[in-house]
Structures are given as structure tokens and as C-alpha cells.
Amino acid sequence: MTWAHTFESSPDANLRGTLRPDFHWGFATAAAQIEGAWNKDGKGESIWDKFCHTRGKVKDGSTNEDATRAYDLFKQDVALMKSFGVSAYRFSLAWSRIIPLGGAEDPVNEKGVAYYNNLIDELVANGITPFVTLFHWDTPQNLEDRYGGMLNQERYTPDFVRYARLCFERFGDRVKHWITYNEPGVYTLAGYAAGVHAPARSSFRERNAEGDSSTETFTVAHTELVSHAHAVKVYREEFKEKQGGQIGITLHGNFSEPWDANDPQDVEAAQRAREFEIAWFADPIYGSGDYPQSMREQLGDRLPSFTDEERALVKGSSDFYGMNTYTTFFVRHLDGPADINDHLGNVEKLDTNSDDKSRGAESDTYWLRTAPEGFGKLLRWIWDRYHVPIFMTENGTTAKGEHVKAPPPESILDDKFRVEYFHSYLRELTCAVLDGVDIRSYFAWTFTDNWEWAAGYEDRFGCTWIDFESEEKTRYPKRSSYFLRDYFGHLIRKN
């Protein structure tokens, strides 16, 4: 089943050709969520492999052992993406598939390298530009066992840099768009502050046996920033001139609106929330070269300090602003000192504001609501603060009612809620471009329903419905895939 969408007689008619001719659009995925083959062909264990095989960690008790079987079915997936008309595909490499033990002196798994070479070749042969993420949360478990992973910056950094260099060497002749880390803030907050993601560390002993939410979160974030910058230095000095690519980092961040727009304390709290969530990583790279002052004032010495060498290395260490965002929250200030385990900026997040206005239509995921106006404001906030080209690297939604038995009925595949989400957000993106914001890509999250981390198979973000009970993980395209094809055909200017 296919759907056709036209826009010439709609209010979108005047948006025709607004986006640059070389604008990239496609889907984003992560290795741990789609590949399966978790211990096949020499792959080593990752922290997520261990996490999902630990009882009680994943909401539905599932594992990522099979996921969508993208490891086995990548040719089928590339063909399907081509039928959707995508121009690019953003995917991550599984570090422990390439270097099973992870370390700088550990052996390379040539079968893992071959898999990614074959995937990249298949994409290129079908006219799809690969965007490659080196790290999407799946640290090799062996590095965690050896020295605590990212808690040990001195030992971790050379291991990550060696992995990055190997990828540049083996894939960089065809890959021209590199991302070092995906959402380093979410990795630290979920894994070390809340302890609900791998490696499952926090101060909350009813949840985690080890960890300190008040310090480890910021230690790990510092390691990510510094190791990212070292990898970028290697690429720029050893590969960029010959290979002609770009390299950067992708940061998460949802927009924060004041709960009471007439209360200066709430206005300040919303700005502080953006700084704790976004500027935490962005300011050192694109801005002042240091963490935001609001963070230093609340956290004191618990927030690491950059050495002069680190500051010089990190500042300017991204060729673009990789941006993942999904929704908007209303933010209200809290009186009194912040809790020692607070990572939000001493604020309260709410679904409605002081006028009882909702932040948006509910999805099938508790935190995610459709909020395009906030998305538009966030694009302008990032552009005004950092003034670097923006690559939109993740954006999407779940929709209620998609948990059905195969084959899914037409009412499920005709995913109007997701279509409206994309339509409203892409209108905002296009209006931001008309206002002068430099935006060069859009990757929808995600290509197929997948294994959604600690939510297991209970969050369906895909533009393709997956029958997880079938051996072949049968794919059923949803209307949203064809909407994106047609809408980008309308928005992107022809040469």
C-alpha cells in the first residue's frame, strides 16, 4: 500500500523549494536497537547486551538478541529506504562488533568490519549518503569491567580514539559525515544519574548497587567531551584533507518554556533548564569554551574543570551542530537549594502552564508530546547562541494503538498522528530556514519499529511497522514514510 501527498493547493504551497538542493533527509537508527546478532560473527558484549540480559532492567523483559535483524536483512532495508526516496541514512557502528574487547591493544574483528563495509557499499550503490555515528551508548562491556569505562578518562580516551581512527581508516573513503557521540547527555543522565539505562549506576540503592549520581554524571560527561575532541583532532589532522569529510557531535535537548511567562523566576528557570540540558555540552564546543555559569553556581566542584589544554582541544571541535529533539516542557522554578542529585537546574517540569495550556497532544510515550512551536523556538535559540550549521539528526514520535498482531490493519499503517507530527515540525523547520537559520539535514526517528532500550518493544517509533513475532521481522511500511518522501520532494529546491 502506498499513499500520495500533494501540497500545491495547500498553505504549504509557498514553502516549495525552501530547503537547499543538497539538503539531506532520511532515517536515523542505532546498532544496539536494530542489528540483533548480538553475539554473532565474533561480536563482543556491550553494556547494553549485559543490561538487557539482567532480570528486571527492561520494561517488557525483552532483549536485543534479534531486534529487527538488520544485521541479516540490511539489503532488504536499504531497498525499502530507497523506495521511500531517502537521500541519506544515519546509523551507528557497534564498537564491540569491530573491536570485541574495545581496547587500543585488542584485536580487530574483521567480520564486523566487513559487515559495515557491506552496508556502506549497499547504501552508496543505491544513492543513499551514509551518516555514521561512532558511539550510540553501547560501550564494550570489557572496558567497563577493566577500569570503569568513561569514569576513567585517562584510560578510556586512547581506547576510544583508536576505535575512531580504525573507523576512519576502514570506512572514510566512502563516509563523509561522521558523528562521534550520540546524545552524550542522555547517556550520562539515564546511565549514571537515574541508573535506568546501562551501565546502571546511580545513588539510588533500591535501583543500583553502585554509583554516585551527584558526581559520576558530570565525570562521564567530561570524558565524553574530551575524548570526542581527541577523535576530531585525529580526523582533522590525519584524514580530513584526503577524505574530504565532516565530523561533529550530536546533542539532545528539548525546549523549555516558562510555566508562567509573566514570572521572571520562571523565565530564568526555563533558560537555566536549557543550559543544564543543552549548553552543558554545547557551550564548551561552540560557545564560551566552558560549562555554563548557571551549572557552576549550582554544582560547584562537582562539575569538572577543563585544563587549558582540554579547553583549547574541545572548543571548536565540531563542524556542525548535530541536534536531536522531540518535544517541549513547561518549567517552573523551585525555591530553596537544589537537591544534590538534581541535574535539571533546580526546576520542575510540567505538562501544562499557569494558564492550563497543554504542551501538546499525547503520544504513546509518557514524556513525548507534539509541540512544534517549541521546536521552532529551539532551532532559533541554538542558532542565535552558537551560529553554526544545524544538522537535524533525530526527531519523531510514537503513536497510540500500534501494538497489534500481524498483519496490522490499514488504520495502523495509516498513521495520521505521526504524519501530523512530522508535518507540523517540518513546517517549523522550514520557517526557521526562511528566517535565516542554516539547517542542512533532517533524520526521522526512526526507520522501523525497533528495540527501544529499557522500554523494550513497547515504544514503536518506526515509520515501518515490524512484526516482532515473525522470524523475518516482516516489515509493513506506514503512511508516514511516504509522507516524508512527498513533503521533502516539495520542500527541497531542485538544482
Residue 420 vs residues 224, 352, 371, 464, 487: alpha-carbon distances, Å: 36, 21, 11, 16, 12
pLDDT at 10 (0 to 100): 79
Q: Contact 291/280 with Cβ under 8 angstroms?
A: yes
- 459 sits in the region (left: phi over 0; alpha: psi -120 to 50; else beta) called beta
pLDDT at residue number 260: 98
Q: CA-to-CA distance for 298 and 291, rounded, in angstroms? A: 12
Q: Decide: pTM greater than 0.95.
A: yes
Three cell numbers, residue 466: 515490524
Collect all residues with Cβ–Cβ distance below 8 Å to 266 and sequence separation of at least 6.
258, 259, 260, 331, 332, 333
Q: What is the pLDDT of residue 3?
A: 77
Q: Are 198 and 50 contacting, i.e. CB atoms less than 8 angstroms apart? A: yes
Q: Which of 251, 246, 307, 254 is nearest to 280 (CA)?
A: 251
Enter the C-alpha cell of residue 471: 522470524
Residue with cell 542542512: 440
What contacts 95, CB < 8 A, 6 or more positions away? 46, 102, 134, 135, 138, 139, 140, 163
* Residue 227 contacts residue 161 (beta carbons within 8 Å): yes
Taking alpha carbons only, the member of 154, 167, 189, 149 closest to residue 310 is 154
Cα distance between residue 186 and residue 298, in whole Å:
20
Question: Cα-atom radius of gyration of the chain, to the nearest Å?
Answer: 21
350: amino acid identity, one letter: L
Q: Which entry of 394, 402, 428, 452 is annotated as an active-site residue?
A: 394
CA distances from 320 to 6, 11, 277, 395 (A): 32, 31, 18, 17
- What would the pLDDT profile of 22-59 be if each residue is shown by its tens digit? 999 999 999 999 999 999 999 999 999 999 999 999 99
Q: How high is the pLDDT of residue 1?
A: 61
C-alpha grid cell, residue 370? 507534539
**pLDDT attached to residue 250:** 98
Distance CA 149, CA 436 (A): 41
Is 237 part of the annotated catalytic residue set?
Answer: no
Strand duo 177-182 + 255-258: pairing: unpaired
Cα 164 off chain centre by: 18
d(CA 281, CA 63): 31
Q: Which amino acid is at 379?
A: L
Determine whether 183 is an active site residue.
yes
Per annotation, catalytic residue among 35, 45, 144, 183: 183
298-328 pLDDT, tens digit each = 999 999 999 999 999 999 999 999 999 999 9
Dmax over CA atoms of the chain, in Å, equals 62
Low-confidence ranges of the chain (pLDDT < 50): none
Q: Which three cell numbers stand for residue 436?
A: 535565516
